[in-house]
Chain A
Amino acid sequence: MALFNLTINGKSQQVDVDPNTPMLWVLRDHLDLVGTKFGCGIAQCGACTIHLDGNAVRSCQLPVSAAEGAKITTIEGLSEEGDHPVQKAWLEHDVPQCGYCQAGQIMSAAALLAQNPNPSDTDIDNAMNGNICRCGTYTRIKAAIHTASKNL
């Protein structure tokens, strides 16, 4: 066990955990931020996507010890009021079915748009290919990303 100082959604937080603990479980079990989801634990599904200094990363592969000093954003901190252009576009297109994968999808999409405000279909395919949706909402996700891109 060791103490780690983390900056999450603009707030400083301290946790006392095993240094190898993935950020996914630090968020979910220790900080009550359960919006970030567990899907595979091996960087294959994207359900656990968060932003580390603005980049989309799989939190199931990010040990807490590597997250110190970085700016972490989770779905809960993407916007104050749930009104990030990506979230708004998701509502406009009524994207979710079961909804389980959607936090990860939104975090991947938001990171893409921050780096590439005007993505082509191919850019979207590449950026979103790591996020699985068993319900099959992909076509709406793509449409919503285009809408969000117009409203950035």
Chain B
Amino acid sequence: MKTFPDKINRRSFLKVSALAGGGMILSFNWLAGCKPKELETLGMPKEWFRLNGYIKIGENGLVTIMSPNPEGGQNVKTSMPMIVAEELDADWKNVVVEQAPLDTDNFTRQFIGGSQAIRIGWNALRTAGATARNLLIQAAAQTWNVPAEEITTEPGFVLHTASGKKAHFGEMASLAATMPVPEEIPLKEISEFRIIGHSHKNVEAKNIVTGKPLFGIDYKKPGMLKAMIIHPPAHGLRLKSFDDSAAKGMPGIKAIFQIKSHQDEYERTFFDTTSFTDLVAIVGNSTWEVMNAKKAIKVEWEPFSTYEEKRDWNGRKEIRTIPGGLENEASQIQQMAEASKKARIARKDGNPETAFAKAAKVIERTFHGPFLAHNCMEPMNFFAHVQPDRIDCAGPLQKPELTEQALSARLGVPIENIYIDMTRLGGGYGRRSYAHWLIEAAVISKEMNAPIHLQYTREDDMTGGIYRPMYRATYKAALDENNNLIGFQVNAGGLVEPPLYADRFPAGAVENYLAEEWTVASNITVGSFRAPRSNFIAAAEQSFLDEVAEAAGKDPIDFRLELLKKAKENPVGERNDYDPDRYAGVLELVKSKSIWGQTPAGISRGVSAYFCHNSYAAQVVDLKIENGQVVVEKVVQAVDCGLLINPDAAKNLCEGAAVDGIGTALFGELKFVEGAPDRTNFDGYRMIRMKEVPKTIETYFVESQVDPTGLGEPAYPPVFAALANALYQATGKRFYNQPFINQLNT
């Protein structure tokens, strides 16, 4: 056993009077009506004893574990409590899980983003479980009058072998709640795990398949009104005036008014991005009535001129210039080409100029990626009730803690008086980090002096901004006469943010290396999108390496392995941010599992590998083209995310990432015409559907005892390139521009 100094947010493990008192618990009781999981043995207890911020135990032995992080499909609501239960030594079938509200006193980092929940939560969650287990042991020692060291646990029980005494956790819970919290606490060895590493079903699955109210859109409160907004139809426009004479008297309509989500002088932090601050709000009794009134309002828009926005990026003050004008795709592409000539050097090793001058072969290719909409299946929405002494909010969001600060600043209400309940997210993928809709909901509620639920239509959602940036990258490789890679350059940028990771592979594996980046300003807002930056740069880099391997006459996997060997044995530079062994590990695994080198007849095959969010993934895509359609027969993927918590759920996530990645690479695209997105709903924006999905997906994990790392994102970026490389084998054409469907159709 290793001991862990208990210094991770110690408050979490103390007895928590605030929670026991019930204020915060009561605020999310609306969900308690749906039992989180079928109880196989125990019913609900009469009394609960809270051992710390994460754990309460009923007198009958039932254990409740609070899941601190918002759940949007990453399955943290199952996997995080599994980690707590492991160290507590609970019997999983007698565990129920509750979603914790936003509570910065008791929990750290209640975020979705960067696939970091498990990696960062790992020690805190384990310590929470181990501490509570210790309290139960102390209680048993006192009750039985035996030394604590002689007491052990088995799932759900404390026992003293010498005297044959045994009690379930519930019998010790009330006394345990009064025991002193230990300063240091031993954690289990991996070999002792009984829950972690074994597949457990999603604790919410039964509620999902029976249609229980789980999502923000399902949230209801007595007296609650429905609200919608109208935002400008194009980026570059703002509200001038509106005429609501036809809408005002429509049935069910309570009020129509103008709102401002952020004040002009507000200093925005990282996730306060919004495209449109001046909006028309419509409030009424029911969604349909509000939708109808919305259509009857005539709004006049006007172009805005260039203005400045104050920004505070984690303490770094910045003035950001937002250009006026209605943008078009062609001019954006041209601006990007111009900007790429004035790039800033992010990393330089050796002497790339000389290497390219003396190269026997130089390969240069440029890649493009379009804007993408997140398209969470649950359109943006939020509940807010602004009262004189408190604000209650509920709904789906990824960064509740930051949103709470923004709301506090906007309405001048202290953070202590803001209560945010986190509902399940109908998808997030980065979009729900930018919670301007929560602020809008609160501003509307304040004006109405009533609880309201703000609902975006799909069109509001898709045309409202916060897109995956538009990207461009140019790669250059120099090969000597022996086909060794002697020089490598990447010049990458985007509108509005660059996709470059200068210290990632193949940095470190090439003697002469240059990475440069640039940006183009725009009034189109962008934000994090599933595997930010990697979702483009992996595709470009891994497609390019495929082409370089071919030019060098080498097998694409061997070529990468050779470079990784060099990065391991003789690394160039000191800042390389990947582990060559783990990188090679996923390539080796996918090579053997896909039976690389023996492509089935009639099949075209491509490979790709990438490292991001602390995890490694490699994929082999097998496809054919049938009647002009891409038919993906099989995806074989190998993933190294350290120790696996919940294997089948991990597999599900990686399968989803592969499907989503293939869909986005083939079809995902949003263009701008005079500042307006050229598609507004799923009739225009093509999403992958059942017919286009890979027929088989095989997912393998590298066995590892390294602390667990991210999983929501790592399998997403590389599959774009595996697909492009397989398409090359099938068509003889390289795919440099996403989405690939455009090239396939010509």
A38 near B210 (CB under 8 angstroms)?
no
A98 near B425 (CB under 8 angstroms)?
yes
Known: A44-B681, A45-B377, A125-B690. A25 touches B652 (CB 8 A): no
Known: A82-B209, A134-B377. A98 touches B691 (CB 8 A): no
A25 near B655 (CB under 8 angstroms)?
no
Instruction: With both chains docked as a complex, state the minimum distance between the C-beta of B531 and any C-beta of chain A, in angstroms.
Output: 14
A99 near B426 (CB under 8 angstroms)?
yes
B375 an interface residue at 8 Å Cβ cutoff? yes
The 6 closest A-B pairs by CB, nearest first: A35-B211, A100-B426, A136-B659, A98-B73, A75-B211, A97-B73
For A31-46 the 0/1 string (1 means CB < 8 A from B) is 0111111111110110
B205 near A96 (CB under 8 angstroms)?
yes
B209 near A91 (CB under 8 angstroms)?
yes
Q: Which of B212-240 contact A (CB under 8 A)?
A: 212-215, 217-218, 220, 226
Instruction: With both chains docked as a complex, state the minimum distance between the C-beta of B137 and any C-beta of chain A, in angstroms.
Output: 34
A100 near B690 (CB under 8 angstroms)?
no
Among residues of A, the one whose C-beta sits closest to the C-beta of B635 is A139
A42 near B682 (CB under 8 angstroms)?
yes
Q: Which residues on B sit within 8 Å (CB–CB) of A20?
A: 288
Q: Which residues on A sit within 8 Å (CB–CB) of B210?
A: 35, 75-76, 78, 82, 87
B579 an interface residue at 8 Å Cβ cutoff? no
B682 near A101 (CB under 8 angstroms)?
no
In the bound complex, CA of A126 to CA of B690 (Å): 8
Instruction: With both chains docked as a complex, state the minimum distance between the C-beta of A65 and any C-beta of chain B, in angstroms.
Output: 13
In the bound complex, CA of A142 to CA of B659 (Å): 13
B211 near A74 (CB under 8 angstroms)?
yes
Q: Which residues on A sit within 8 Å (CB–CB) of B689?
A: 128-132, 138
Instruction: With both chains docked as a complex, state the minimum distance between the C-beta of A24 and any C-beta of chain B, in angstroms.
Output: 9
In the bound complex, CA of A142 to CA of B286 (Å): 36
Among residues of A, the one whose C-beta sits closest to the C-beta of B427 is A98
Instruction: With both chains docked as a complex, state the minimum distance between the C-beta of B676 and any C-beta of chain A, in angstroms.
Output: 18
A98 near B426 (CB under 8 angstroms)?
yes
Instruction: With both chains docked as a complex, state the minimum distance between the C-beta of B252 and any C-beta of chain A, in angstroms.
Output: 9
B211 near A38 (CB under 8 angstroms)?
no
A25 near B220 (CB under 8 angstroms)?
no
Q: Which residues on B sit within 8 Å (CB–CB) of A36?
A: 211
Q: Which residues on B sit within 8 Å (CB–CB) of A149?
A: none
A101 near B211 (CB under 8 angstroms)?
no
Instruction: With both chains docked as a complex, state the minimum distance between the C-beta of A54 and any C-beta of chain B, in angstroms.
Output: 18
B655 near A37 (CB under 8 angstroms)?
no
B126 an interface residue at 8 Å Cβ cutoff? no
Instruction: With both chains docked as a complex, state the minimum distance between the C-beta of A64 and any C-beta of chain B, in angstroms.
Output: 9
B660 near A38 (CB under 8 angstroms)?
no
Which of A21, A126, A138 is in CB contact (< 8 Å) with B288? Answer: A21
For A14-56 the 0/1 string (1 means CB < 8 A from B) is 0001101110010011101111111111101101000000000
A42 near B660 (CB under 8 angstroms)?
no
In the bound complex, CA of A52 to CA of B76 (Å): 36
B379 an interface residue at 8 Å Cβ cutoff? yes
A-B contact pairs, 30 of them (CB 8 A): A18-B251, A32-B220, A34-B220, A35-B213, A38-B287, A41-B457, A41-B458, A42-B681, A44-B683, A45-B377, A75-B210, A94-B648, A97-B652, A98-B376, A98-B428, A99-B208, A100-B215, A100-B378, A101-B426, A102-B208, A124-B690, A129-B691, A134-B660, A135-B427, A136-B655, A136-B659, A136-B663, A138-B659, A139-B655, A140-B652
How many A-B pairs have beta carbons closer than 8 Å: the answer is: 191
In the bound complex, CA of A21 to CA of B226 (Å): 15
Known: A41-B458, A45-B682, A94-B201. A99 touches B424 (CB 8 A): yes
Q: Which residues on B sit within 8 Å (CB–CB) of A5?
A: none
Instruction: With both chains docked as a complex, state the minimum distance between the C-beta of A28 and any C-beta of chain B, in angstroms.
Output: 7
B688 an interface residue at 8 Å Cβ cutoff? yes
A8 an interface residue at 8 Å Cβ cutoff? no
Name A's B-contacting residues (CB within 8 A): 1, 17-18, 20-22, 25, 28-30, 32-42, 44-45, 47, 74-76, 78, 82, 87, 90-91, 94-103, 106, 121, 124-126, 128-142
Among residues of B, the one whose C-beta sits closest to the C-beta of A124 is B690
Among residues of A, the one whose C-beta sits closest to the C-beta of B218 is A34
Instruction: Tell me what chain A mostly uses at the interface: helix, strand, loop, or mixed.
Output: loop
Among residues of B, the one whose C-beta sits closest to the C-beta of A47 is B377
Could you say which of B292, B378, B424, B695 has the most chain A C-beta atoms within 10 Å of its C-beta? B378
Q: Which residues on A sit within 8 Å (CB–CB) of B106?
A: none
In the bound complex, CA of A74 to CA of B212 (Å): 12
B656 near A136 (CB under 8 angstroms)?
yes
Known: A90-B205, A136-B655, A136-B688. A98 touches B72 (CB 8 A): yes
B287 near A35 (CB under 8 angstroms)?
no
For B420-460 the 0/1 string (1 means CB < 8 A from A) is 00001111110000000000000000000000000101100
Q: Which of B45-100 contact A (CB under 8 A)?
A: 72-75
Q: How many residues of B contact A (CB 8 A)?
A: 65
Q: Which residues on B sit within 8 Å (CB–CB) of A74?
A: 211
In the bound complex, CA of A75 to CA of B375 (Å): 23
Among residues of A, the one whose C-beta sits closest to the C-beta of B659 is A136
Q: Which residues on A sit within 8 Å (CB–CB) of B288?
A: 17-18, 20-22, 25, 29
Which of B73, B212, B652, B694 is in CB contact (< 8 Å) with A35? Answer: B212
Which of A29, A94, A130 is in CB contact (< 8 Å) with B287? Answer: A29
In the bound complex, CA of A89 to CA of B427 (Å): 22
A132 near B687 (CB under 8 angstroms)?
yes
In the bound complex, CA of A139 to CA of B658 (Å): 11
Among residues of A, the one whose C-beta sits closest to the C-beta of B426 is A100
Q: Which residues on A sit within 8 Å (CB–CB) of B75?
A: 97
In the bound complex, CA of A29 to CA of B657 (Å): 34
Instruction: With both chains docked as a complex, state the minimum distance between the C-beta of A99 and any C-beta of chain B, in angstroms.
Output: 4
In the bound complex, CA of A75 to CA of B379 (Å): 20
A28 near B287 (CB under 8 angstroms)?
yes
Instruction: With both chains docked as a complex, state the minimum distance between the C-beta of B214 and any C-beta of chain A, in angstroms.
Output: 7
In the bound complex, CA of A9 to CA of B656 (Å): 33
A135 near B458 (CB under 8 angstroms)?
no
Known: A34-B213, A34-B217, A124-B690. 15 other contacts (CB 8 A): A1-B251, A18-B289, A20-B288, A35-B212, A37-B378, A75-B211, A94-B201, A97-B73, A98-B377, A98-B424, A99-B214, A103-B211, A132-B682, A134-B660, A134-B687
Instruction: With both chains docked as a complex, state the minimum distance between the C-beta of B189 and any C-beta of chain A, in angstroms.
Output: 28
A101 near B659 (CB under 8 angstroms)?
no
A128 near B690 (CB under 8 angstroms)?
yes
In the bound complex, CA of A96 to CA of B212 (Å): 14
Known: A82-B210, A106-B209. A132 touches B220 (CB 8 A): no
Q: Which of B6-40 contact A (CB under 8 A)?
A: none
Could you say which of B202, B656, B691, B694 has the most chain A C-beta atoms within 10 Å of its C-beta? B656
Which of B209, B376, B424, B652 is in CB contact (< 8 Å) with A137? Answer: B652
